[in-house]
Chain A
Amino acid sequence: MNDGEELFGSLIRFGQYLRTHGFTLGPGRILSYCRAAARLDPTDPVDLYWAGRLTMVDDRRRLADYDRAFSEWFSRSEQEGTAEQGEYVFGGWDDDGAPMGTRTVATTQEVSVVDPSDDGPGSSGPTASEDEILRDKRFDHWTEDDLRRLHRLVANIAVNLPNRVVRRSRPGPSGRIDLRRTVRRSLRCDGEPFHRAFRRRRTKPRRLVLILDISGSMAGFSRPLLHFAYATHRAAHEVEVFCFGTRLTRITPQLRWRDPNRSIEEAASRVVDWESGTRIGESLNHYVRRYGPDSRNRGSVVLICSDGLERGDPAALGSAMDRLSRQAHRVIWVNPLMGDPRFRPLTRGLIASLPHIDSMVAGHNLAALDQMAALLAE
């Protein structure tokens, strides 16, 4: 890899980092950013700051978010030393910014698939209590009796959500570099060396958003997740819940006071037109348009629970997932079909979604839900 490609790679990584801060950036914008940086001096942080701001921010109200993300990125790569050294090393760009190609954007995203057989049957000993037996029982095989214990068991799952930086922050003597103020200062005293302004940041846990497929056979698997949402909400985390079959329905309000069993029943009754099949793409598209841009949902951890058997247009699903991945901090797909070791994500809808998912997990029994919960904290 030559310096040019390395620089290009690090520019793209910064673009992707901005996405996790809720910036909606298509490949076109990131390409613009690379072309702009190539025309400036990428060894100069002030030039990099402007290249990114001019090409990737188009709303005055997002300037503070950009500044924060930039200074985080800048100080992080400084701390990590060699790891991100490529960031500010100028490479061999030609006048037209030749090493362009949007392909790198997609391939740098890794999809980890957690193997459900990791912690599979047989790990519990002969003295296992009834609860322990239930741990490995597929949710759709649970009896009425079993289901009565569902809520208590799910509520025992420990949840930790990663932090996000919140808006309010105070100027302080140390902490992250505040680039906007730094740039301002250096502009004010034309030519004087770069003084660094610091700013302390406050953090709070990210919101958890669940989007549950409750059509036909999926309802059996979505129900435990709904209990999970309910318990997570009770543990004072911020949670939003949506259900879909053919249409998306927000059921967060029901979570506030109702019995979780009843709320899923109620939501299910609002899903009309069972025969026409699941419309994941359309439902997710509704989410990314109507709810995703809300600042409270931006940068959240999104759990989608569905078997991915799309009856609609797989391309629509792909583009909704693309948008979702840019709004969210992480996207985790819970797919109970993965409980079957022979499972391969071969439906066209799932293949179109894969590049935009951080992890796909089974979540088909309690043990698998535990594994899923552990992923949330990342």
Chain B
Amino acid sequence: MHAPDSPTGFSSPAHAAQLLQGHGYLADQGLATAIYLARVLPQPLMLEGEAGVGKTEVAKALADALAVPLVRLQCYEGIDASQALYEWDYTRQLLHLRAADVREGSGRDIYSEEFLLERPLLRALRSEGRCVLLIDEIDRADDEFEAFLLEILSDFQISIPELGIIHSATPPMVILTSNRTRELHDALKRRCLYHWIDLPEPLREVEIIRTRAPEVTEALARKVVRAAARLRRADLVKTPGVAETISWSRALQRLGTSRLDVGMVRLTMGAALKERDDLETAEGFIEELADLE
């Protein structure tokens, strides 16, 4: 059950988009629909897309919009269940045992709440639905961990041998993201709504830049987006995402320029291209990046 003061969520996809916009995130209709459905059905939402299309950010904005905490589980190679769920605080347990040795009879159980280190999944399970659980970059974890997640997402229940079963009657809202560096299990995908986030349309990207960096003029943002579109057509090691167009626009604005000539491009391009090789590649068509107005 929701606490009486808990936000009920969204009344429609448009309402979801509007609330997200209030927290600095511009969602298109597909993403707004995905978020809305994830909330009302409720069902976990799997977001896939290139790096920098706003997958992580949307979970943050969502938590803000719903006025609940964001609980983030960042996945990495080799992550295991205990790092995601809970661990016992061995150092404190040892200290306690030693102290108990001295004062005989103080029989506090070292496997009690007090010595439990809550990790993101446990925290989310215990929040009774009052959080957004972000399981970020799940493609970095291995198969085994994926199977473990599937289990958690199926029952929203775990059993801690020393403490018993912990169950969340109201599941939290769950967002999973993947950069698609490997295939995920069908079983996990079947459990989720799936949305592929494309890079934004040019006009929307201009709006996103202006939302994130209001100091940037519209004219400048347009020039940067046009140049970024050209870069994205090239064969680069790391294609610039939205984060990159934002920081490129910021850099230019800070230099106080509204012109994007070849010299300016060369000076600031590093804000959008992080790889040495990519800077060299871009040098080959640098005139096309400059604005000829």
Binding site for B on A (CB under 8 A): 26, 28-29, 32, 35-36, 39-40, 46-47, 50-51, 53-55, 57-60, 63, 183-184, 187-188
Are the C-beta atoms of B43 and A187 separated by less than 8 Å? no
The answer for the CA separation of A59 and B185 in the assembled complex, in Å, is 11
Residues of B within 8 A of A36 (CB): 37, 41, 193
Chain B positions 97-124 with a Cβ under 8 Å from a chain A Cβ: none
Residue of A nearest to B43 (CB): A32
Query: Knowing A39-B40, A184-B201, A187-B201 touch, does A46 contact B29 (C-beta < 8 A)?
Result: yes
Query: Knowing A58-B46, A63-B196 touch, does A39 contact B201 (C-beta < 8 A)?
Result: no
Chain A interface mostly: helix
Residues of B within 8 A of A54 (CB): 30, 33-34, 37, 193-195
Sorted nearest first, the 6 A-B pairs with minimum C-beta distance are A58-B189, A58-B194, A50-B33, A60-B196, A54-B193, A36-B37
Residues of A within 8 A of B33 (CB): 40, 47, 50-51, 54
Contact of B194 among A40, A46, A57, A183 (CB under 8 A): A57
23 A-B pairs whose Cβ atoms sit less than 8 Å apart in the complex: A28-B190, A29-B190, A32-B41, A32-B193, A36-B41, A40-B37, A47-B33, A50-B33, A51-B37, A53-B30, A54-B33, A54-B37, A54-B194, A57-B194, A58-B46, A58-B190, A58-B194, A59-B189, A60-B48, A60-B196, A183-B29, A187-B201, A188-B203
The answer for the CA separation of A57 and B192 in the assembled complex, in Å, is 11
The answer for the CA separation of A47 and B192 in the assembled complex, in Å, is 18
The answer for the CA separation of A238 and B34 in the assembled complex, in Å, is 40
- What sequence of 0s and 1s flags, for each residue 189-217 of chain B, a beta carbon within 8 Å of any chain A beta carbon? 11011111000010100000000000000
Query: Knowing A50-B33, A54-B194, A55-B193 touch, does A40 contact B203 (C-beta < 8 A)?
Result: no
Are the C-beta atoms of B41 and A35 separated by less than 8 Å? yes
Residues of A within 8 A of B46 (CB): 58
Residues of A within 8 A of B203 (CB): 188
The answer for the CA separation of A281 and B199 in the assembled complex, in Å, is 45
Residues of B within 8 A of A51 (CB): 33, 37
Query: Knowing A54-B193, A57-B194, A58-B46 touch, does A187 contact B29 (C-beta < 8 A)?
Result: yes
Determine whether B180 belongs to the interface, using a CB cutoff of 8 Å to chain A.
yes
Residues of B within 8 A of A59 (CB): 189, 194
The answer for the CA separation of A47 and B201 in the assembled complex, in Å, is 20
Residue of A nearest to B197 (CB): A60
Other A-B pairs beyond A54-B193, A63-B196, 12, CB < 8 Å? A36-B41, A40-B13, A40-B37, A47-B33, A50-B33, A53-B30, A57-B194, A58-B46, A58-B186, A59-B194, A60-B48, A60-B196
Residues of B within 8 A of A188 (CB): 201, 203
The answer for the CA separation of A345 and B29 in the assembled complex, in Å, is 50
Determine whether B144 belongs to the interface, using a CB cutoff of 8 Å to chain A.
no
Residues of B within 8 A of A57 (CB): 194
Determine whether B143 belongs to the interface, using a CB cutoff of 8 Å to chain A.
no
Residues of A within 8 A of B180 (CB): 60
- Shortest CB-to-CB span from A73 to chain B, Å, is 19
Determine whether B87 belongs to the interface, using a CB cutoff of 8 Å to chain A.
no
Residue of B nearest to A47 (CB): B33
Determine whether B28 belongs to the interface, using a CB cutoff of 8 Å to chain A.
yes
The answer for the CA separation of A51 and B29 in the assembled complex, in Å, is 12
The answer for the CA separation of A50 and B28 in the assembled complex, in Å, is 12
Are the C-beta atoms of B193 and A39 separated by less than 8 Å? no
Residue of A nearest to B196 (CB): A60
Residue of B nearest to A53 (CB): B30
The answer for the CA separation of A32 and B42 in the assembled complex, in Å, is 10
Residue of A nearest to B13 (CB): A40
Residues of B within 8 A of A187 (CB): 28-29, 201
The answer for the CA separation of A183 and B29 in the assembled complex, in Å, is 9
Residues of B within 8 A of A58 (CB): 46, 186, 189-190, 192, 194
Residues of B within 8 A of A29 (CB): 190
- Shortest CB-to-CB span from B195 to chain A, Å, is 6
- Shortest CB-to-CB span from A231 to chain B, Å, is 38
The answer for the CA separation of A186 and B191 in the assembled complex, in Å, is 30
- Shortest CB-to-CB span from B50 to chain A, Å, is 10
Residue of A nearest to B40 (CB): A39
Contact of B29 among A32, A39, A50 (CB under 8 A): A50
Residue of A nearest to B39 (CB): A39
The answer for the CA separation of A176 and B203 in the assembled complex, in Å, is 28
Are the C-beta atoms of A39 and B190 separated by less than 8 Å? no
- Shortest CB-to-CB span from A39 to chain B, Å, is 5
Chain B positions 11-56 with a Cβ under 8 Å from a chain A Cβ: 13, 28-30, 33-34, 36-37, 40-41, 43, 46, 48
The answer for the CA separation of A53 and B34 in the assembled complex, in Å, is 10
- What sequence of 0s and 1s flags, for each residue 136-163 of chain B, a beta carbon within 8 Å of any chain A beta carbon? 0000000000000000000000000000
The answer for the CA separation of A311 and B33 in the assembled complex, in Å, is 49
The answer for the CA separation of A224 and B215 in the assembled complex, in Å, is 77
Residue of A nearest to B183 (CB): A59
- What sequence of 0s and 1s flags, for each residue 243-256 of chain B, a beta carbon within 8 Å of any chain A beta carbon? 00000000000000
The answer for the CA separation of A185 and B203 in the assembled complex, in Å, is 12
Q: Which of A36, A40, A54, A184 is most buried by chain B, counting CB atoms within 10 A of its CB?
A: A54
Residues of B within 8 A of A63 (CB): 196
Residues of A within 8 A of B194 (CB): 54, 57-59
Q: Which of A50, A55, A187 is most buried by chain B, counting CB atoms within 10 A of its CB?
A: A50
- Shortest CB-to-CB span from A50 to chain B, Å, is 4
Residues of A within 8 A of B195 (CB): 54
Residues of B within 8 A of A32 (CB): 41, 43, 193
Residues of B within 8 A of A50 (CB): 29-30, 33-34
Are the C-beta atoms of A39 and B41 separated by less than 8 Å? yes
Residues of A within 8 A of B41 (CB): 32, 35-36, 39
The answer for the CA separation of A184 and B189 in the assembled complex, in Å, is 25
- Shortest CB-to-CB span from B24 to chain A, Å, is 19
Residue of A nearest to B191 (CB): A28
Residues of A within 8 A of B189 (CB): 58-59
The answer for the CA separation of A58 and B186 in the assembled complex, in Å, is 8
Residues of A within 8 A of B192 (CB): 58
Q: Which of A26, A32, A46, A47 is most buried by chain B, counting CB atoms within 10 A of its CB?
A: A32
